[in-house]
């Protein structure tokens, strides 16, 4: 058990890291952040910001010497840096989980090995584009081609209508290692956050239902509309993945629920997740405090929903050309909680904040909260359009 006032280390300095730092500080810990961005949201609130590359030897040495445990807020840390830290410090989660999650080919292979269903897929290796193994042995069309590494929020992906589109799509992505995956007919998209400690104790948060726009998460609602049996199955699968990884920390697992009832894992993320932001205002513990508890070997808190909730993302598209959005309607809504990430520059598609909208007494699902969240978002979007007119 790592007790305060110990110093914790964090690889990555975005908004997920910022909330981890704040949760840890509230529990009496200090946090050092390693991130090359001088305007890093987490670095701005940390006890120390090592503003260097993730594989900088001096920075890694400093982090290992100062911190009793090191964790991550995103998975794309260079593999040599991850392996060095694992050999010279306490790194949670460990290299296996991080390296599997940062490569879709390794991730698909691992999930298959442990008996977890995914959409039909085929490896498309770097260089020459192979023939497509359609049918039972591979993906069907329409399909989607995804880069094996560094793709997120819809980036590094090309949709294909037919097999003949593959060479051009592979060329568009630079002929790097890719995964060709069948597009499945969805009933809904789900995600589960599960926390696990080194001794195998684990605690799962309620299943979230997610809606995306242009490949980026737009709205999360809890509870969603999936049947209880589906939610139980998703939670069990997430726990199984965490166990087989011997995971330590908070793990996010994203699912596709198909129209014919199949529950397929889309991807895993070895960290807190955008779809878990609802936990900040509507659960007995946030995903960020639970991450602190998990990596420090503390008792995991019960992860119970206290009220229905909907979370809507605020992207840079909602920022006018000059200044900030007019937040008056959001702030006047007593059931809304505004969270901004402290990013100085707003860009199209960049996550700048989110709003959690809480359910009211007597509501037994998140439908009303989701409608209110959409209305607040639409009001912000309308303001931008009026300013451009």
Using one digit for the tens of pLDDT, what is the confidence trace for 216-233? 999 999 999 999 999 999
Residue with tokens 């996550």: 351
Residue with tokens 């209880």: 228
Q: Are residues 273 and 297 in the same domain?
A: yes
Secondary structure (3-state) at 261: coil
Burial class (CB in 10 A: 0-12, 13-18, 19+), 90: buried
**Position 171 in a domain:** yes
Cα-flanking dihedrals φ and ψ of residue 112, to 5°?
Answer: -65, -40
Q: What pLDDT is attached to residue 262?
A: 95
**How far is Cα of residue 347 from the mean position of the Cα atoms in its chain?**
20
Using one digit for the tens of pLDDT, what is the confidence trace for 240-284? 999 999 999 999 999 999 999 999 999 999 999 999 999 999 999
Does residue 2 have a cis bond before it (omega within 30 degrees)?
no
Using one digit for the tens of pLDDT, what is the confidence trace for 76-130? 899 999 999 999 999 999 999 999 999 999 999 999 999 999 999 999 988 876 6
Q: Are residues 264 and 334 in the same domain?
A: yes
Q: What is the CATH number of the domain that holds 124?
A: 3.30.1490.20
Q: Are residues 56 and 78 in the same domain?
A: yes
Per DSSP, 372 falls in state: H
Q: Are residues 52 and 156 in the same domain?
A: no
Q: What is the CATH number of the domain that holds 77?
A: 3.40.50.20
Q: What pLDDT is attached to residue 158?
A: 92
**Position 109 in a domain:** no
Q: Are residues 193 and 336 in the same domain?
A: yes
End of a domain among 91, 110, 139? 91
Q: Are residues 379 and 254 in the same domain?
A: yes
Strand partners, 114: none
Q: Are residues 36 and 172 in the same domain?
A: no
**Position 96 in a domain:** no
Could you list the residue range(s) of the whole structural domain that residue 27 is in? Answer: 7-91
Q: Are residues 177 and 228 in the same domain?
A: no
* pLDDT level of residue 387 (50, 70, 90 thresholds): low
- Taking every pair of Cα atoms in the chain, the longest distance, rounded to a whole number of angstroms, is 59
Secondary structure (3-state) at 296: helix
Q: How many domains are contained in the chain?
A: 3
**How far is Cα of residue 158 from the mean position of the Cα atoms in its chain?**
21
**Position 384 in a domain:** yes
**Position 1 in a domain:** no
Q: Are residues 172 and 51 in the same domain?
A: no
Q: Are residues 22 and 85 in the same domain?
A: yes
Using one digit for the tens of pLDDT, what is the confidence trace for 326-344? 999 999 999 999 999 999 8
Q: What is the CATH number of the domain that holds 381?
A: 3.30.470.20
Q: Are residues 277 and 362 in the same domain?
A: yes
Strand partners, 312: 219, 355
**Position 256 in a domain:** yes
**Position 111 in a domain:** no
DSSP assignment of 264-309: EEEEEESS--GGGTTHHHHBSS-HHHHHHHHHHTPPPPP--B-S-E
State yes or no: pLDDT of 389 exceeds 60.
no
* 107-140-149 Cα angle (round to 5): 30
Q: How far apart are CA 104 and CA 94, in angstroms?
A: 18
What would the two tokens of residue 49 be?
């910001």
Q: Are residues 319 and 261 in the same domain?
A: yes
End of a domain among 132, 158, 182? 182
DSSP assignment of 61-116: HHHHHH-SEEEESSS---HHHHHHHHHHS-BSS-HHHHHHHT-HHHHHHHHHHTT-
Cα-flanking dihedrals φ and ψ of residue 215, to 5°?
Answer: 80, 0
Q: How far apart are CA 147 and CA 179, in angstroms?
A: 6
Q: What pLDDT is attached to residue 349?
A: 93
């Amino acid at each position: 058990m790592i007790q305060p006032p110990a110093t914790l280390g964090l690889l990555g300095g975005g908004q997920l890291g910022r909330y981890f730092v704040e949760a840890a500080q509230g529990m009496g810990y200090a946090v050092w952040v390693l991130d090359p961005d001088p305007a890093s949201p987490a670095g701005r609130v940390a006890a120390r910001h090592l503003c260097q590359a993730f594989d900088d030897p001096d920075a890694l040495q400093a982090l290992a010497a100062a911190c009793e445990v090191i964790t991550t807020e995103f998975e794309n840390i260079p593999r040599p840096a991850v392996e060095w830290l694992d050999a010279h410090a306490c790194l949670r989660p460990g290299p296996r989980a991080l390296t599997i999650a940062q490569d879709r080919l390794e991730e698909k292979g691992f999930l298959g090995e442990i008996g977890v269903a995914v959409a039909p897929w085929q490896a498309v290796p770097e260089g020459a584009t192979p023939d497509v193994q359609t049918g039972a042995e591979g993906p069907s069309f329409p399909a989607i081609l995804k880069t094996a590494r560094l793709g997120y929020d819809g980036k590094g992906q090309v949709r294909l209508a037919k097999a003949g589109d593959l060479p051009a799509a592979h060329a568009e992505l630079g002929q790097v290692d890719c995964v060709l995956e069948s597009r499945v007919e969805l009933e809904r998209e789900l995600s589960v956050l599960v926390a696990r400690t080194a001794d195998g104790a684990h605690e799962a948060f309620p299943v979230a239902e997610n809606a995306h726009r242009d490949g980026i998460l737009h709205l999360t609602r809890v509870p969603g509309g999936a049947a209880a049996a589906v939610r139980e199955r998703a939670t069990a699968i997430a726990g199984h993945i965490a166990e087989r990884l011997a995971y330590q920390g908070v793990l996010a697992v994203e699912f596709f629920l198909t129209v014919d009832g199949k529950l397929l894992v889309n991807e895993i993320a070895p960290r807190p997740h955008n779809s878990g932001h609802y936990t900040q205002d509507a659960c007995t513990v946030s995903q960020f405090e639970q991450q602190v508890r998990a990596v420090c070997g503390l008792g995991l808190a019960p992860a119970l929903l206290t009220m229905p909730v909907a979370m809507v993302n605020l992207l840079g598209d909602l920022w006018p050309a000059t200044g900030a959005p007019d937040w008056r309607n959001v702030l006047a809504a007593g059931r809304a909680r505004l969270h901004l990430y402290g990013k100085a520059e707003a860009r199209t598609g960049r996550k700048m904040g989110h709003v959690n909208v809480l359910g009211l007494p007597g509501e037994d699902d998140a439908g009303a909260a989701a409608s209110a969240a959409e209305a607040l978002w639409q009001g912000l979007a309308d303001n931008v359009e009026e300013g451009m007119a």
